[in-house]
Chain A
């Protein structure tokens, strides 16, 4: 890789009891890359992404962002994360949710940013209603605002399009494209190959906890799912 890695996982293993969910992962991601993290169910995508998001620590090896351990607050401040949960408080209003996270991310006068994100997610009208009264789509859009509004330069998206309604999916696609155009680094873990390969500059494929492939996204990779995974898993078995 020509550029200095922004995200580096070196010799990473993760054990749950005796089971090794990740086996000696060496993965470097340069700034400005959009990486599609692919693999079948149970391949270890979410485990790796949780580690990159500072939600889990490696059993062996290290993960750094910009050369810093993720236990450093400054490294975590650069991350914008959409995980399996929506990470918003049902008993707080949309405004209060964003105010709370603005406080945690040390944004001194967050109101203009909150206004902008509520506007772009179409939640201005319901800003003072508790999130529990929102429809599923509205909650998802609030989750997107929560993930993006501190202007992170690294986006970690775990199955981000799953269960999104059309409006939220379009919003998220637009934001990911904008982030990529703005030189931000994006890692998307997903089963939706076509969408991921359309967005990605690079591809990493996990197979049973091992990194089976890591390289640029090329036209040769555009294959139907069954063939796509077979080419790497057979390579890995061999």
Chain B
């Protein structure tokens, strides 16, 4: 079966299951809102310094909320041993990985777009100015974060302390993608053009490509013990 078609089928299944039970999106969105609210009490929302660290603040929230999304990605398959059904099916491991990563990325993107207006109000940030480029950065940054997270989600699916292990493994490896996303987001929030920051954009694209290929190559070994 075509890898992409199988990946879409798996992603669609994950999104359908999530639409039914909303166990991930509700928890992640509530968590993100609480963190945004708590940070807004800590910093002076009108301060120039706050705006300068706005990108970092936002991606910190996205990363923590993202781990909640990633934790359930493969764990969802452990009920009724459904992961065995996926591994035994005549689809390549790459399709399972890409399908899972796609569903995770879409869920996280929905979460990010829902948080953005709230962030704008709490921190007095004009996020609409460069929204097109901001969307590009969100898509690239989220994909980079989720491909790494999906690989480690597969790796830790049968680990007892999965919820603790996953962030410990994911955050160090995603540092380059997060740094690039933070720099670009901060620049775009400040109303600057993207041109001086193109190096970060290239880094993000390169990171996404390399880790997507690595994930595709590694996942079968991780899933078949």
Contact = CB atoms under 8 A, between A and B. Distances in A.
A73 B90 contact: yes
B84 A89 contact: no
Contact of B1 (A57, A90, A106): A106
B116 interface: no
Interface stretch (A97-105, A197-205, A207-215): A97-105
A103 B16 CA distance: 15
Given A71-B220, A83-B81, A85-B81, A54 B87 contact: yes
B115 interface: no
A56 B224 contact: yes
Contacts of B80: 85-90
A86 B85 CA distance: 9
Interface string A50-61: 000111110000
A213 B79 CA distance: 36
B136 interface: no
B17 A89 contact: yes
A105 B90 contact: yes
A92 interface: yes
A111 to B, nearest CB: 16
Given A87-B82, A89-B13, A90-B79, A53 B88 contact: yes
Interface string B1-18: 100011001100100110
B86 to A, nearest CB: 8
A193 interface: no
Contact of B91 (A73, A84, A88, A89): A73
B17 A104 contact: no
B82 A85 contact: yes
A118 to B, nearest CB: 18
A180 B220 CA distance: 33
Contact of B21 (A85, A91, A105): A91
Contact of B13 (A75, A90, A92): A92
B85 A87 contact: yes
Given A57-B225, A76-B89, A105-B89, A96 B84 contact: no
Nearest to A50: B84
B160 interface: no
Residue of B5, B17, B21 most packed against chain A (CB within 10 A): B17
B10 to A, nearest CB: 8
A89 B81 CA distance: 9
Given A56-B224, A91-B21, A96 B16 contact: yes
A79 interface: yes
Contacts of B79: 90
Contacts of A75: 90
Contacts of B85: 87, 101, 146
B83 to A, nearest CB: 9
Interface in B1-40: 1, 5-6, 9-10, 13, 16-17, 20-21
A100 B86 CA distance: 11
Nearest to B1: A106
B87 A55 contact: yes
Nearest to A57: B224
B92 interface: yes
A66 to B, nearest CB: 13
A217 B86 CA distance: 34
Interface in B57-101: 79-82, 84-92
Interface string A20-56: 0000000000000000000000000000000001111
A81 interface: yes
A77 B91 CA distance: 9
A86 B224 CA distance: 19
Contact of B88 (A79, A89, A91): A79
Contacts of A85: 80-82, 84
Given A54-B87, A55-B88, A104-B89, 7 more contacts: A53-B88, A54-B88, A81-B88, A87-B84, A104-B1, A105-B89, A106-B90
19 contacts: A53-B84, A53-B88, A55-B87, A71-B220, A73-B90, A74-B90, A81-B84, A83-B84, A87-B81, A89-B80, A96-B16, A100-B9, A104-B1, A104-B9, A104-B10, A104-B86, A104-B91, A105-B89, A106-B1
